[in-house]
A and B are shown apart, each in its own frame.
Chain A
């Protein structure tokens, strides 16, 4: 079957990226950044944020919409980092080793939280997105309780550097022992003609992201991936085909949470410091905004969406404060504007999707009505012809 290229629907699906391109193309010259600085920044952000965006794809495939509860995976990663820094104090196992230990600690937590989130979302059918969002806030409460009281009161914290001076609770920001462990492993410098300095980019992190993308593509082609897709298309049909719909939906959230856990580890080692209490607040917003800017919708997301989206979204993020300052003389306006754009883009994408779905439902109803009247007229005609 050859898909016909539909220019109108293509334009509609690319509306958000195009709007974004226009905004950025005005903002970049205003910001006054040099292109080498900008490219370097965007390359770093691509390495830092893409993995988290990959975590959103599988729940979308299974028809759960955007999983705003990927913050749960991020929280598990943060707990893993805290514990590994606590237990590995004085050990010489290097950055990569430290991150692997953190991942090992975080993995069971992420699996458990993913199972919990999936089960809760199953109870809120049709309201998965808002539920996942509020659930993330709820679990943040428990997470803060854990890092503020359990750490130090119940779990002994021997590393004084991460402990608050009062004797229990973790400090607000902690410096990572494992900072840059992935990024510095294989830093590739590329000389681009026309630019002053060579562009550096963290090659090993890109390999990890590529592995995640290959996993997602491979997963979509497996039997299980096909099951996920059919659940995403119609739960009713999938159910009558003998698929365990509830189980598949929980699994999709679990995979997403675990991927987000790895994503947050990559994010943290790239930044080098960790915001213990507020570090996971914006995780899902930025990841969601990025893939939606990349042209994904609530029902369909592909790998290219991620890279287009992260690059566009983070370019906007970098240039906007300076552009706002140049335009209005007040850097705060630029910062507010970029927050407004982040939330606005998610709103716009959600509205466009819901709008087209409501329209499809309306068209369906109209067609049904027309079919019925057509049938009635045909029957009338037939009976008129039959009676002499």
Chain B
């Protein structure tokens, strides 16, 4: 018994409770006429879609800059890159990779300024990041309307200027990596027989192999980075700034580098999200990524000053599972549409819990 409790503690209690809750939900799903296969299908798809966004939290948490509520800075870099590449009509995998690269570049440039700002306001990063995030979203709203994009696929039809709210990526790179390894057709689809509502059906389980591999590749790169000399120095800054200073580490440079990395990764994550979703969403859409992304890594077991790749993987998976499974199963079970309430309470509850946990004081 004791050993079981210890094992749960090592895994993380909150994580365990949520995982058990989700497992029970999945078990009872057929009672309410919800297909298990299509539920799993949704969870896997969203895991691959959001993975890199969650990963983008890691560098800033590790360097002691806290939870990156300023993620919209990276998101708008990704969106801007997508619009520019579409303007030049690059399509397919080439366009997708070009959009990621350009997004990372724009993100890095913005990250330099953002990191400079965060270095001057140590201790108040999170609240200022939130407002920087909101401010940049509304600033870019003006830009989306005003920048001289001409591509008829991406500008508003009646006026001929100003980007659309949602741009379909169908003709560009929607699902290109999802469909890997074949790059065409439907990609890897498993047909699984299942009884739903008393009827024998065949459900599709689509696995976005390429996108998952891409996500794992980025995870591996970040994992390797934190084993390098620079990565270790960055972790040291986040764990104990005074020791880091005594060891001759340039704290501000490490923090700035972490901000650049986080913002670039967020830009790449946004492009990947668009690829999986099939649409690029402009205007106020980035707002809806701020808190859920932060909540995801916290659910994975990260704290304000420490985050690992395993936190990212678990967090992206469990959080998306909560968001997908609770509406479909709980709504059919209690016949109330409380998905929005659950989303708000889970997301913000996780962040409040993380903020009120005691953190070792540093620097």
A157-171 contacts to B (CB < 8 Å): none
Closest to A352 in B: B121
How far, in angstroms, from A138 to B351 measured CA to CA in the complex? 9
Q: Report how many residues on chain B are interfacial, defined by Cβ distance under 8 Å.
A: 37
| Residue in B69, B146, B291, B348 whose Cβ sees the most chain A Cβ within 10 Å | B348
How far, in angstroms, from A347 to B132 measured CA to CA in the complex? 6
How far, in angstroms, from A343 to B135 measured CA to CA in the complex? 5
Do residues B355 and A127 form an inter-chain contact, with CB atoms below 8 A? yes
> Hey, which chain A residues are within 8 Å of B200, CB to CB?
none
A-B contact pairs, 9 of them (CB 8 A): A123-B356, A126-B123, A130-B69, A131-B355, A138-B352, A141-B345, A336-B141, A347-B128, A351-B117
Interface pick from A26-34, A144-152, A222-230, A308-316 = A144-152
> Hey, which chain A residues are within 8 Å of B138, CB to CB?
336-337, 339-340, 343
Do residues B122 and A328 form an inter-chain contact, with CB atoms below 8 A? no
Helix, strand, loop or mixed for chain B's interface?
helix
A135-B352, A354-B123, A354-B124 as given contacts; A144 in contact with B141, CB under 8 Å: no
> Hey, which chain B residues are within 8 Å of A355, CB to CB?
120-121
A126-B123, A141-B344 as given contacts; A346 in contact with B131, CB under 8 Å: yes
> Hey, which chain A residues are within 8 Å of B356, CB to CB?
120, 123-124, 131
> Hey, which chain A residues are within 8 Å of B39, CB to CB?
none
Partner of B145, one of A124, A142, A330, A343: A330
A327-369 contacts to B (CB < 8 Å): 328, 330, 332-333, 336-337, 339-340, 343-344, 346-347, 350-351, 353-355, 357-358
Instruction: List residues of chain A with CB under 8 Å of any chain B CB.
Output: 65, 120, 123-124, 126-127, 129-131, 133-135, 137-138, 140-142, 144-145, 148-149, 328, 330, 332-333, 336-337, 339-340, 343-344, 346-347, 350-351, 353-355, 357-358
B189 to chain A, nearest CB (A): 37
Closest to A66 in B: B127
Do residues A134 and B291 form an inter-chain contact, with CB atoms below 8 A? yes
A361 to chain B, nearest CB (A): 9
Closest to B342 in A: A141
Asked whether any CB of chain A lies closer than 8 Å to the CB of B341, the reply is yes
A123-B356, A145-B341 as given contacts; A328 in contact with B132, CB under 8 Å: no
How far, in angstroms, from A370 to B278 measured CA to CA in the complex? 61
Asked whether any CB of chain A lies closer than 8 Å to the CB of B142, the reply is yes
